[in-house]
Amino acid sequence: MARLAKSNLPQFAVDIFQNEYLAEGAREVNAIVTVTATGGGTSGSVSAQPVNFADGPDAAVVIMVDCSGSMDYPSDKIRAAREATAAAIDAVRDGVAFAVVAGTHEAKEVYPGGGQLAVAHAGSREEAKQSLRRLTPSGGTAIGTWLSKAEQLFHSRRDISIRHGILLTDGRNEHENPNDLQRTLDRVQGHFTADCRGVGTDWEIQELRRISSALLGTVDIVADPAGLADDFRAMMENAMGKEVADVALRVWTPANAAVKFVKQVAPTVEDLSGRRKESGPRAGDYPTGSWGDESRDYHVCIEVPSAAVGSEMLAGRISLVVPQPDGTTEVLSQGLVKAVWTDDIAASTKISPQVAHYTGQADLAKAIQEGMEAHRRGDVDNATSKLGKAVQLAHESGNEDTFRLLAKVVDVVDPKEGTVRFRKNVSEADSMTLETRSTKTVRVKKTP
């Protein structure tokens, strides 16, 4: 087991938001779990702290850059990719292990080579940037080979726990069978996290989302190659702020109770239900990846046995755990989910504001994705209905960023009623940006 990344780890807090009151016969308990990490004391700055190189790297990152032939059409894409990779390298903190990989129908090490990771300092960052002239377009696209190469490089330093990839592509994974890519994802997930970016509009959203989801990272579009450098710099700075790896949300339920689902709902929607790993009697772990100073929200739904009015029970215990070198796990924080049966209709029918809000945000993401899929099929009526619902939900929840993206695809007649008309001549970039960012959510509005 790799060591934890730093001695000065953030402090974790778990807060539970729910309406614990159930009507007689009701069995479903919903709770929003807010996890907050603070006080780690590390920023993404290259020179944030003096580094004792004798201690060895505390994190590793591999940058995977698409160098298929299409990156030369237009040629500003590959130039922008080199500039973006240089910007990312400049943001690698001293003491962090890193590498650059060129991805085509195969993966080639660009820096440092020899199946190794370099350790970041002023000299190695400059060497890495000089090597980027070898990022030249040719060949096809087989992203699974890039991920496999990243895994090999990470495994060259098994003592490092925080492992992160940055992946850029401009096209579809045309030179690899989808089943082969899935087998690769099944093998590498849990070994490192990865953020994915698509440049231009010729790549496939669901393909990149499948990769970023498996690797607990983000996915986004950079429609104009000129925006790549700022995006890569921001991604790397965020990666440099990670301080503890392999954190899991452990959900324990009593006898005859069961977890229906666990979803991350902020800052993005991500269903973790299928990622459960049993961790003891009536307990399962759901991976959350690496953490720095940040806050995320999760929606946990538990089905409990029905009980008589006046009964109370502990429906679930939510713990945040991290593995230790000796094979045990440390509990960083925990919270309790409760169930109380009542005949007070007002109490049992009141929906937790947090649960209601994030249910709406998940519905918003689903409506956008279904609407854009219907539009691709030529089903304009269904697409209009779905995106009208999305406009209504975005307006009600105050998700202004998503509302603005929707307004580039549809003319909003009445946001309260969700009345819209599809705009004429919508750009592919606007359509893809809306769909790619559909899973981004806003937090619950604080009441005065």
Tens digit of pLDDT for each residue in 317-337?
999 999 998 889 999 999 999
Quickly name the fold that domain 59-240 has. Rossmann fold (3.40.50)
- Render 335-353 in DSSP notation, one character per residue: EEEEEEEES-HHHHHPPPH
196-255: per-residue pLDDT in tens? 999 999 999 999 999 999 999 999 999 999 999 999 999 999 999 999 999 999 999 999
Whether residue 360 has pLDDT greater than 90: yes
Confidence of residue 55 (pLDDT cuts 50, 70, 90): low
User: Span 353-439: which CATH code?
Assistant: 1.20.120.1690
Predicted TM-score of the model (pTM) = 0.93
**pLDDT value at 59 more than 70:** yes
Q: Is residue 171 pLDDT above 60, yes or no? A: yes
Is 69 within 8 Å of 140 (Cβ atoms)?
yes
Residue 6 clears pLDDT 80, i.e. is over it:
no
**Domain limits, the chain:** 11-42+246-348, 59-240, 353-439
Beta bridge partners of 340: 21, 312
pLDDT band at 5 (very low <50, low <70, confident <90, very high): very low
pLDDT digits (tens, 9 = 90+) for 24-54: 999 999 999 999 999 865 444 444 444 444 4
Listed residue (28, 97, 32) closest to 59, CA to CA: 97
**Tens of pLDDT along 400-447?**
999 999 999 999 999 999 999 999 999 999 999 999 999 999 998 765
Domains 11-42+246-348 and 353-439 share a fold: no
What distance in Å separates the CA atoms of residue 342 and residue 186, rounded to the nearest whole number? 45
Q: Tell which residue, 276, 246, 247, has the closest CA to residue 261.
A: 276
Look up the CATH architecture of domain 11-42+246-348. Sandwich (2.60)
Query: What pLDDT shows up at residue 39?
Result: 84
